[in-house]
Amino acid sequence: MGYLEIKDMEISFPTPKGKYIAVKDINLSIAKGEIVSIIGHSGCGKSTIMNAIGGMIIPTGGTVFLNDKKIKAPGPDRGIVFQNYSLLPWLTVYQNIFQAVDAVMTCSKFDKHEIVENNLKMVNLYIHKDKLPGQLSGGMKQRVAIARAFAINPSVLLLDEPFGALDALTKGTMHLELLKLWNLDNREKTIIMVTHDIEEAIFLSDRIIVMNDGPSATIREIENVRIPRPRNKLDIVNSPEYRAIRDRLLHLLTDKFSIEDLGIKYKN
């Protein structure tokens, strides 16, 4: 059994016209320390699977196991970062992170403050610790959300389109910040990310889960990303491995010829 194991999972919801099946026949095994992305069109159940792993949705069929224990509810072993940051606007940057640490960790108050400070420094936000979320840029808010998630030291970090609203430059910086934190943890933390961005998925992931369209969505294919780490975006976009994976994902998501097959060349 993998560290995170999904077996024959189905998630459905009652409707006035009967049962709506969001996802079905989901079988997935994820190793400890692996980074996995889930991609697919809107409405294919990506976030539904994420919510089941987080314990916010209980499957109507099948099971989800984490470290051989069945997931029945949310827990501190799973940290979640959403696209909308989910920061409390009346608390400072420091207080937003401390509140999460104080609620989860059982160490002394001194140690809790040290955890908050260390995580703020890791995302280069310590000098902004006394600011309110409204005084921060989108990228800074997302760094606070990621620092808060890492501060409670979850075994699994769940990212639900966390960089979707950011500009390209900020998004690239956030990718590097995330990998830096993952490496500091000696790659022990498992990361599962929902994204619409193919390039983001390739750059960050060890494997990419491609979903069929919903309703009743299933896993269409799993693409392995065998590009060595550490990865440099400028280098990998010109590599044949990157081009092959990108072309394959475009084909799976469109069921048509890729852009390059149609004679349109990318500018790298």
In a domain, 10, yes or no: yes
In a domain, 216, yes or no: yes
Q: What is the pTM of this model?
A: 0.88
Whether 77 and 66 have beta carbons less than 8 Å apart is answered as: yes
Domain that includes residue 244, residue range: 1-33+43-71+194-268
In a domain, 47, yes or no: yes
Whether 9 and 217 have beta carbons less than 8 Å apart is answered as: no
In a domain, 4, yes or no: yes
In a domain, 238, yes or no: yes
| Ordered per-residue pLDDT tens for the chain, 268 residues | 569 999 999 999 999 888 999 999 999 999 999 999 999 998 899 999 999 999 999 999 999 999 999 999 999 899 999 878 789 999 999 999 999 999 999 999 999 999 999 999 988 899 999 999 999 998 899 889 989 988 999 999 999 988 887 888 888 888 888 898 888 776 889 999 999 999 999 999 999 999 998 889 999 999 999 999 988 888 888 889 999 999 999 989 886 444 444 344 444 3
User: What DSSP letter does each residue of 146-164 carry, written as one string?
Assistant: HHHHHHT--SEEEEESTTT
In a domain, 106, yes or no: no
In a domain, 5, yes or no: yes
- CATH at residue 245: 3.40.50
Number of separate domains in the chain: 1
CB atoms under 10 Å from CB of 172, counted, come to: 16
In a domain, 173, yes or no: no
Q: Is 113 exposed, middle or buried (0-12, 13-18, 19+ CB in 10 A)?
A: middle
